[in-house]
Amino acid sequence: MGKFDSKLAEALYDLSLDSSQDDECGDVSVCGFWAARFDTLECLETEHAILIEDEQGFVSAESFDSLDDLETRWNELLEASADDSDSADDSEQL
């Protein structure tokens, strides 16, 4: 599949190019990943999903049966991106 780990990842990536995601977090150059949150997907085989691109450009997708499950995973990604962002800010001040 190359850059994408699934057809879902490729479809979500295409949607993200049009800014169709509901939210995004991270920065591949700061915390090693960028993520996009899709709360409601009517056109794909899943209703809720998160797209993640890593620092090497590989793209994966995680699908969720419920909005609660999506929210739990999204909060983990937010925390990880905030932790790494804080570390980057600290090192810039040194």
pLDDT in tens, 72-83: 999 999 999 997
Buried b / exposed e over 29-50, threshold 16 CB at 10 Å, is: eebebbbbbbeebeeeebbbbb
* Displacement of CA 29 from its chain's centroid (Å): 14
> What's this model's pTM, rounded to 2 decimal places?
0.85
Confidence class for position 91, pLDDT limits 50, 70, 90: very low
